[in-house]
Structure 1
């Protein structure tokens, strides 16, 4: 897959050659969405900024591993998400429930609650506040699922949990979100 913007391909090539100007241009194009991604995970603006900058440094040093199979933005976002989760887990060792220690059975009926949430009549701030008030593993799972657009298989890889536990976490997170929004 090639990038939708051929200009970014040229910038990436210049970055690989060590061009500081090209790196600065790439940073300027992507820092806002990458900062917002980190902020949604770590919930602290200073921490999110540090993580975002460290992720850019990591990306610039690993540009040779970028093969163009996905867009550059998607590749960079994955680095930011992984770096955010790694740092968040280090600081909050008990923040993420050890889901692999618990077996859950998920009924397919659990996916019907999506229709029960009337997002159109709510303010974005209400929904975001409700998501931010969820348990950490629920908040991260819903952020990756609804906001970042990852599928359950990708989320299970990112969070380091089994696919079944990912389904359960997302299902329970949706249920918890629904309760908060209806309260």
Structure 2
């Protein structure tokens, strides 16, 4: 499907949602839920919390659909809602002062069974999961979601220089984690 055709179909589905069509809401959910879950997962680093964030974000999007002006794609607008909801979930988690537990699950794959590239990607993914929340969020927003430091600063309510320094520290910490994991193997 061509990009303009996809946008036209999306615009029609969004309009049907505005008119209260539940099937259209389900269509949008099917189109965007997996990608938005992945965005939330990279930020929250918690499967159950990402599921909750996803549901809250879609409810918020449908409730506030009147404020969507189609200046950006629906996906971009929804992604911003998901990111904000994910960041708010992390803030709530911190305010509850719940101790962070080790969140790395699963066994390390046998290198002979796994392609080397897949193994390297898995090492990086696990290392990112081990980053403190603040570092992981900035790193994810910058590297994986493509936001610049000014946008990250706005999203997180921090200064642009804080975003840059958090990113720099996150990269250094990530490299340290990867190096440490290689010496343990």
TM-score, normalised via structure 2 length: 0.79
Q: Which has the higher contact order (CA 8 A, sep 6+)?
A: 1
Q: Which deviations, in whole Å up to 9, do the C-alpha atoms of 1:109-150 show, x marking residues without a partner?
A: xxxxxxxxxxx7962211111111111100111111111111
Which ranges of structure 1 fall in alignment gaps of 5 or more residues? 96-119
Q: Is the 8 A contact 1:3 1:9 kept in 2?
A: no
CA distance in 1, matches of 2:157, 2:55: 24
Q: Paired residues, what number?
A: 158
Aligned equivalent of 2:28: 26
Q: Which deviations, in whole Å up to 9, do the C-alpha atoms of 1:47-75 show, x marking residues without a partner?
A: 21111011101001111111112111111
Verify: 1:54 aligned to 2:49, yes or no.
Answer: no
RMSD: 2.0
CA distance in 2, matches of 1:18, 1:181: 49
Partner SS state of residue 150, structure 1: coil
Partner SS state of residue 18, structure 1: coil
Structure 1 residue corresponding to 2:41, chosen from 27, 39, 42? 39
Q: Which deviations, in whole Å up to 9, do the C-alpha atoms of 1:11-41 show, x marking residues without a partner?
A: 0000010100100000011111111111222
Structure 1 residue corresponding to 2:169, chosen from 161, 169, 172? 172
Q: Is the 8 A contact 1:11 1:22 kept in 2?
A: yes
- Of 85-94 and 154-163, deviating more is 85-94
CA distance in 2, matches of 1:182, 1:121: 18
TM-score, normalised via structure 1 length: 0.80
CA distance in 1, matches of 2:118, 2:80: 32
Verify: 1:123 aligned to 2:120, yes or no.
Answer: yes
Aligned equivalent of 2:95: 93
Runs of 4+ in 1 over 6 A off after TM superposition: none
CA distance in 2, matches of 1:94, 1:165: 24
Q: Is the 8 A contact 2:90 2:133 kept in 1?
A: no
Which ranges of structure 2 fall in alignment gaps of 5 or more residues? 98-116, 181-185
Shift of 1:5: 2.5
